[in-house]
Structure 1
């Protein structure tokens, strides 16, 4: 991936971030792992001075792809391929695992309450704000990380029980 010539108005890291996002949005499935590896490792002679920015671009791509594939049987193959790329990056690796947990909850597949209790604030908020699954909401109503998560889960459960 080549670096763009800096624009006088934009800091170089903003240009690289935009270039990464554009390249990731246009990548073909068979080239996705290679491009993500390139963004994260930047094999250019001058490595990216801001690896957090590169990881931010990758997490946006990861979130978009996981959302697109969430209900597809292709998700499992894609996630397995992504593990190899993301494993050296703890935040990205955790995000992929949490997308898999989110998928399991959303599709009523087996999942462990402890995994949900131990998950990040991001995942817990995402579940209480976007899923209507009694089991997960009951777990988060009791053991959610934040008051916001616990209250939202309780409110959703209470509202649902009044409708029933």
Structure 2
């Protein structure tokens, strides 16, 4: 940040967030297309994802959700992450309302699952998502290790 000025992409991101907050349902598809045309693809994708998560969470169980998703399917196709995110919200809606859904779609979901409150849910590690590494086994010579086990590791005279 030179001279105390906010970087251009930060200002554009904030402007896109405001634009999404003020957009009507009719304006949303055109706005999504315009934002995804931004030269900073990562920032644009992030702004669209934030909008999708906010709006989908609000519409999740309402009758207007399927038409909203259908209207945005075309514009989000320009960004693989946004398209996948919209698809995940569609799947979450079907699961929430007890509508039919394909288990293969759930298995194909990539990354954190969308949550109705707008935050991501953690995903369990799988073959393509390494989990946390297991800690090393405890050191028997350290304090706090059971004394009986510590004795087994000593010499035959009972000294370490």
- With normalisation by structure 1, the TM-score equals 0.66
SS of aligned partner of 1:29: coil
Partner of 2:92: 102
Q: In the alignment, does 2:50 pair up with 1:60? A: yes
Structure 1 gap ranges (5+)? 1-5, 43-47, 131-139, 149-164
Residues 3-82 of structure 1 correspond to what in structure 2 (within 5 A)? 8-42=4-38, 48=39, 50-82=40-72
Q: Is the 8 A contact 1:83 1:93 kept in 2?
A: yes
Higher relative contact order (CA 8 A, sep 6+): 2
Structure 2 gap ranges (5+)? 132-160
User: How far apart are 1:117 and its partner, in Å?
Assistant: 1.5
Q: Is the 8 A contact 1:117 1:144 kept in 2?
A: no
Show CA shifts across 1:45-84 (max 9, x none). Answer: xxx3x12101110110011111011001111111000001
- Larger fraction in helix: 1
Two-structure CA RMSD over aligned residues (Å): 2.9
Cα distance 1:126–1:30, how it changes in 2: closer, same or farther (>3 A)? closer
Partner of 2:79: 89
User: How far apart are 1:146 and its partner, in Å?
Assistant: 5.9
Q: Is the 8 A contact 1:117 1:145 kept in 2?
A: no
